[in-house]
Structure 1
Amino acid sequence: MIESIYKTFVKRIENQEQNITLNKEKVIEEAYQMTIVLKELLNEAKNQVFERGFKDKNEEIVYFKNIKPLILGRLIFYNKVYRIETSCPAKGGDIYIRYFEEEQEKLNYEFKERFIDSDFFRYIKSGRTDLDEKYFRLGQIDILEGLNSYVFEIDPQSSTYYDYKVAHIHADELLYNYIQRRLNPEDNYEVLLQVGEAKDILWTHTKNALIELIYALHAADAISHGKLGIRKISGVFQMLFGISLNDLHNSFHRMKARSGSRTLFIDQLKHTLEEYMDKEDSF
């Protein structure tokens, strides 16, 4: 049951983000709208889960390790984007660049303070699960570990403290990519899309499908003999299709944890291509 709830929220977020560009002209309104949507989704997830309760400890862990951080991380990200953009003193030039360089420095400092040399950060990034009961079940907080003072402000009935830390890891990764786009406009797909008829070429499947395809091409060294990294390849596809893939890394890691087939889109491509070949042979 909890897995279906997780998939539902993933799908709903993907649908909301499908038309999000975060380009200069639209970013403030888009970030504001996403903040409202995600706040509502977070409340809905909380109410849904706590009205029915957890069937077992595994459901509790999935909620606090995956579902809540997925929504809260994006909520933190879009809220930060909104605050950054509404405080930006210029639309371009040296002042604009310095502003985003300072935001990058703030992010780097906060990241070092929160996570560098953190056992918990290494635990999350390595994909471990052996301490999940300690980190992602209610009532397991040990204040003797010298946790951030935020722990005393949280509602112990709706947070394990560490779900909030996972959300911040996700948010910081998204924000880092966002600031990089502002500092490196030459890598920015919406700038490159201002040519020719490329605007009419749209990706009409899900973002996860495109991410799966990008990683498959990268793994097969199918583009530039494998000399291009994931970021460059994804930039090409973002430019071509006019789509934003801000959460590339985390989306891929969620694919790795899928139940059943981990290559849903690739499997679908194989099936549909074989069907198409069969039709061609019949003519």
Structure 2
Amino acid sequence: MIIEPAKARLVQLDEDLELFDEMGIPAGQKLNGKLNSIRQAIADLKTLLNQHPFSSTDEEIQFFKYVKPQFIARQLFALDIFTIETGKPVDTAEVIKNYFEQELKYTVKFHDQNKFMHQYYLFDGAELDALLFVRNVQPPSSLIPDAQSFDPEFSTAGDYVFARFIANEWVQEFLTDRLYSPEETERLSNMTKKKVTLKWTGDAINLAEMAYGIWLTGQINQGNAGIAEIVRCLEVTFQVSIGRPFRRWQSISSRKRVSQVKYIDQMKAAILKRLDDEYA
């Protein structure tokens, strides 16, 4: 099985990338260090694939749908952030804010241009996995109009676009953090405290489940609100610290499959019980 050693290599890569973030080195030097680490990790991933051939089509799909895109997404994200930071104008706060808002629109535009695939990604579709995540299979051009040309033995039609979606989520989170400065967050928080007395007293991870449910079902701004925006709104509204959405998602996805959304399941059970009691 290649999945477990590949995930272990991803954990090691994240530790390497965090070290570069902690170093007080120039942006260009940091980017080069990160890219070298990512390239080495991808090379190691190829080696693992040679050492552990897929035992089934299901394993191949899992690798190219969930594992490899995580490595490529880190590469795309590092390049995106470097480009955004080095392109940031030296100007007024308003001009810089407009710049970040424009960058945010680029990620939304990519999702609009790949609307079907983005919905497939968000809702974790499975019907087309054999076309998108099995090697040497060519899906209809209507699914992926701008398919990338990569090593056919280490790529599928859909793994790159899934990596792009993952990277875009991180870019959206990064840009949202820049658009909503700590000072602005504190101001909104103080305003909220004056108007309401609601405070979240449950576990913060439960609110994170709700945030992802709201985001993945597109309930706010016609589905255009980012997960970081939703999390920040809930934090201000309920006077609670949820933390970084990506870290919370890792905690949720690492749970056992039967209980990955414990709080949402608990809410559903409570509502159904209330309805059953009323009908009775």
TM range (shorter): 0.5 to 0.7
2:91 and 2:36 mapped to 1: Cα distance?
A: 25
In the TM superposition, what whole-angstrom CA distance separates every residue of 1:83-120 from its partner, at most 9, and x where no partner exists? 1112222276233222212212222222211x32x1x3
Aligned residue for 1:159?
A: 155
Deviations 1:206-252 (A, max 9, x none): xxxxxxx73146669xxxxxxxx6446779658xxxx8x36246525
Structure 1 position 136, deviation (Å): 0.9
Deviates more, 1:77-86 or 1:246-255: 246-255
Alignment correspondent of 1:139: 136
Partners of 2:76 and 2:167 within 8 A in 1? yes
Q: Tell me the TM-score normalised to structure 2 length.
A: 0.65
Deviation at 1:143, TM superposition (A): 4.1
Distance 1:187 1:157, change over 3 A: farther
Q: What is residue 223 of structure 2 aligned with on the other side? A: none
SS in 2 for 1:41: helix
Residue matched to 1:171: 167
Map 1:44-193; keep pairs closer than 5 Å: 44-90=44-90, 93-113=93-113, 115-116=114-115, 118=116, 120-145=117-142, 147-151=144-148, 153-186=149-182
Q: Is the 8 A contact 1:69 1:164 kept in 2?
A: yes
Letter in 1 for 2:4: S
Query: Which letter maps to 2:122?
Result: K
Change (3 A) 1:142 1:44: same
The equivalences for 1:240-279 within 5 A come to 245=244, 247-248=246-247, 250-252=249-251, 254-255=253-254, 258=256
Map of 1:3-14 to 2, 5 A cutoff? 3-14=3-14
How many Å apart are 1:73 and its aligned residue?
0.9
Give distance in 1, aligned partners of 2:232 and 2:23.
18
Alpha-carbon distance between aligned partners in 2 of 1:47 and 1:253, rounded to the nearest angstrom: 29
CA shift in 2, pair 1:108/1:219, >3 Å: closer
Between the two structures, name the one with larger relative contact order (CA 8 Å, sep ≥ 6).
Answer: 1
SS in structure 2 opposite 1:137? coil
| Alignment-mate amino acid for residue 12 of structure 1 | Q
Return the alpha-carbon distance in structure 2 between the equivalents of residues 158 and 168 of structure 1. Answer: 17
Count of residues in Structure 1 that have an aligned counterpart in Structure 2: 225
| TM-score under structure 1 length normalisation | 0.64
Deviations 1:8-55 (A, max 9, x none): 034224423555769999766545433332222112112221344222
How far off is 1:144 after superposition? 4.9
- Contiguous gaps of at least 5 residues in structure 1: 192-212, 221-228, 264-283
Alignment correspondent of 2:204: 214
Q: How does 1:188-207 map to 2 (within 5 A)?
A: none
The answer as to whether partners of 2:3 and 2:67 remain within 8 angstroms in 1 is no
The verdict on how the C-alpha distance between 1:63 and 1:92 changes in structure 2, with shifts beyond 3 A counting, is farther
Taking the aligned partners of 1:155 and 1:127, their CA distance within structure 2 comes to 25
C-alpha distance in structure 1 between counterparts of 2:151 and 2:14, whole Å: 29
